[in-house]
Amino acid sequence: MRASINRPPTPDADDDGEAEPTLQEIINIKLIESGEKEKLKELLRERLIECGWKDEMKAQCRAFTRKKGRSNVTVDELVHAITPKGRSSVPDSVKAELLQRIHSFLMSAAL
């Protein structure tokens, strides 16, 4: 069926406008509904503080602000500059622990 130049194509009758949620979306919904997502966030905060990651990121932010000048830095610039370093410097042990907790949750939720 060709679309008219003046109007968009008519949607198919079997399209109800709502797409099926992806597996990632379903997992996220289950994590939120069960309260597990907040527990995982708190665990992550604790582990990052324990391993010194938070202090390291704070130092990186301060160094970046000193270099650019305090009044010349926006939050967006700071986030853009620090995020790659922050993500890459999360210890593997913290990632593994969180992954294990998520895996256990998924097994218990039978997803």
Half-sphere exposure of 59 (CA within 13 A, CB side): 5
**Assigned domain for 24 exists:** no
**Quick check: is 15 in a domain?**
no
Half-sphere exposure of 82 (CA within 13 A, CB side): 19
pLDDT of residue 47: 97
Q: Could you tell me which of 40, 27, 41 has the C-alpha nearest to residue 109?
A: 27
Q: What is the pLDDT of residues 43-53, one digit of tens each?
A: 999 999 999 99
Q: By residue range, what is the domain housing residue 98?
A: 36-109
CATH number for the domain spanning 98: value is 1.10.246.140
Name which of 34, 22, 24, 21 is nearest 109 in CA terms: 34
Give tens-digit pLDDT for 58-96.
999 999 999 999 899 999 999 999 999 999 999 999 999
CB 83 within 8 Å of CB 89: no
Residue 86 covered by a domain: yes
The number of distinct structural domains making up the chain is 1
Is 29 domain-assigned? no
pTM of the model: 0.72
Residues 6 or more apart whose CB falls under 8 angstroms from that of 81 comprise 64
Residue in this structure with the two tokens 């597996």, named with its chain if needed: 23
